Amino acid sequence: MVSLSTNQLVTSEGSRLSVAGYHRATDTGALEWAVVRVSRLDRKSRLVMLDGARYAEDGIHVPYTLAGILSAPSPRVATEIRADEEAALRSHYSGLQAGGALTAPSATEEITVVRSEERLHISRLEWRPYKRTRVRVVVREREVVQRVVIKVQELVVDDDPSSVIERLGMAGDTASQDAAESELVLHREEVTFAKRVVPYERVRIRKEIVSDTYQVDDELRKERVEIERRRARRR
């Protein structure tokens, strides 16, 4: 009996797929379905029917091409197959078996391996809110100093010489002049002011679209092919 430790499934054109598990028949326990993945980066599991498969040391050879396996319907859950899903899978693989049974590999057989890699794809750009701005008017105080010129009355005394007094005939009336008093009221300007609110500036607020460069950093994985050479066993 061939060991299944290799966990490899080989298509009709030589492509190798990794086997993640098997489904067995409930009555006989025979292998019916293989759960495979096209690549390590592929998260989608696919089921391959094992009817007509050939078991060898390098893996399980099935009479289906890679394209036929990729086009097979996929069940919702790979670990459990519903009756309608199994019927659809059997119908698909039965149509692929019309080409005949598998033949032994020739000396010029080519093995095709599908490598996969992750690629960064930006699907689309969406408008999303990133900032909310509130606009309001606030009152701030500032000190203002302004100089104003005012007028003030001042007392000016003019002294006349004695010759002028004698000429005017006012020299004999000195006693009455000593008792006389005069009173003057001086005036000055006072500053009165008032504050009032007046518009001094008009502010317009609007939105505009500017372009910016955004850098996306991520790690991408890529598969590589490793070849392990083993000598064939002599019978």
75-100 pLDDT, tens digit each: 887 778 888 888 888 888 988 875 54
For residue 178, being part of any structural domain is answered with no
pLDDT > 90? residue 44 = no
Counting Cβ atoms within 10 Å, is residue 17 exposed (0-12), middle (13-18) or buried (19+)?
buried
Residue with tokens 């394209």: 67
Residue whose C-alpha is closest to residue 37's, from 170, 185, 233, 223: 223
Could you count the other beta carbons within 10 Å of the beta carbon of residue 23? 18
Domain range for residue 109? 1-143+187-235
Over residues 216-231, the pLDDT tens digits come to: 888 888 888 777 776 6
CATH number at residue 41: 3.90.50.10
- In this prediction the pTM is 0.43
For residue 28, being part of any structural domain is answered with yes
Q: How many domains does the chain have?
A: 1
